[in-house]
Amino acid sequence: MADLSVKIAGVEFNNPLIAASGTFGFGREYGEFYPLEKLGGISCKGITLTRRDGNPPPRIAETPSGILNAVGLQNPGVDVFINEDLPWLKQQNTVVIANIAGNTPEEYCEMAEKLSDTDVDMIEMNISCPNVKSGGVQFGTSCESVGAITGEVRKHCKKPLIVKLSPNVTDIASIAQSAEASGADAVSMINTLTGMRIDINTRRPIIRNNTGGMSGPAVFPVAVRMVWQVANAIKIPIIGMGGISKWEDAVEMLIAGASALQIGTVLFSDPYAPIKINEGLNKFLDDNGIKSVTELTGTIKPW
């Protein structure tokens, strides 16, 4: 049995697999399949300062080896999360990451402050949601805006701060550098790639929001490439995600430079995927005589 534990910004995870924000709610539903302590952590559904109802349906479309979604940050607001969901989550013996999104830098700061006074383990700043008109990705697509908002939130955030990066940019490595220089403790990447599907009979986009965020196995090679590029540019840890659906993908993402992983879309095919991926990862490490999963991170031998 290899050691699957990892440490990100001082926070210990039992294993490197974290449920990705937006696919796992606040954990209660998947907790009806298996104890949530089987996961390294949970990145909770993105929360905003006040309640949001999200976009009108349809909010999802299938794509070759993936999906498009545009939920639009439906959530009950940060206070409800803190009062009603966080106490339950903290009893599940897994790392709890609050994912925050705002309309303005002030909103991010206010949420970071509120959450800093709770026992949430980490804060993931979502500046990469492609599915809302304001809040999210407009802060995440230039080095200047990423640096500015990370620096502001850092001043109000007493918890380890993860900045979640958008792949819808020209140079993700320089954006990651801005986050690092402005005080991020880690980056998580990649959020979804903006995409679109159209019903050829009605000529209407399948998703009511017209465009949506693409995820699933189809985006995995893009995510691996970006994680590798960012790993070469920054020193803070990377939480890698984007289409991981089997243990081989997990190993590949770690080798590319990730220190921990998030998985999301695969849960919709197989709710037990995190457990199976951990088992496969463990066997791979044992078979190769590797004592700790941390030994894989960034061991790529590029040509």
Write out the residues near other proteins by the rule CB under 8 A. 22-25, 29-30, 32-34, 45, 53-63, 65-67, 69, 71, 74, 206, 216-217, 265, 267-272
Residue 252: CA count within 13 A, CB half-sphere: 16
- Distance, CA of 136 to CA of 43 (rounded, Å): 16
- Distance, CA of 35 to CA of 33 (rounded, Å): 7
Question: Do 181 and 149 meet the contact criterion of CB atoms below 8 Å apart?
Answer: no
Specify the residue, 117 or 198, whose C-beta has the smaller distance to other proteins.
Answer: 198
The strand pair at 17-19 and 41-43 is best described as: parallel
Specify the residue, 62 or 106, whose C-beta has the smaller distance to other proteins.
Answer: 62
Q: Which residue has the tokens 């066997």?
A: 283
State the nearest-atom distance from the C-beta of 281 to other proteins, in Å. Answer: 21
State the nearest-atom distance from the C-beta of 125 to other proteins, in Å. Answer: 21
**Which is the catalytic residue, given 44, 109, 129, 157?**
129
Specify the residue, 151 or 271, whose C-beta has the smaller distance to other proteins.
Answer: 271
> Nearest 5 degrees, angle CA 61-CA 29-CA 217?
40
Task: Tell me how far CA of residue 200 lies from CA of 203, 204, 206, in angstroms.
Answer: 5, 7, 10
State the nearest-atom distance from the C-beta of 163 to other proteins, in Å. Answer: 23
Q: Catalytic residue at 109? A: no
State the nearest-atom distance from the C-beta of 66 to other proteins, in Å. Answer: 6
State the nearest-atom distance from the C-beta of 253 to other proteins, in Å. Answer: 18
Strands (E), the chain: 6-8, 11-13, 17-19, 41-43, 60-63, 66-69, 95-100, 122-126, 161-164, 186-189, 193-195, 212-215, 238-240, 260-263
Specify the residue, 25 or 280, whose C-beta has the smaller distance to other proteins.
Answer: 25
Specify the residue, 268 or 284, whose C-beta has the smaller distance to other proteins.
Answer: 268
- Distance, CA of 85 to CA of 7 (rounded, Å): 24
State the catalytic residues: 129
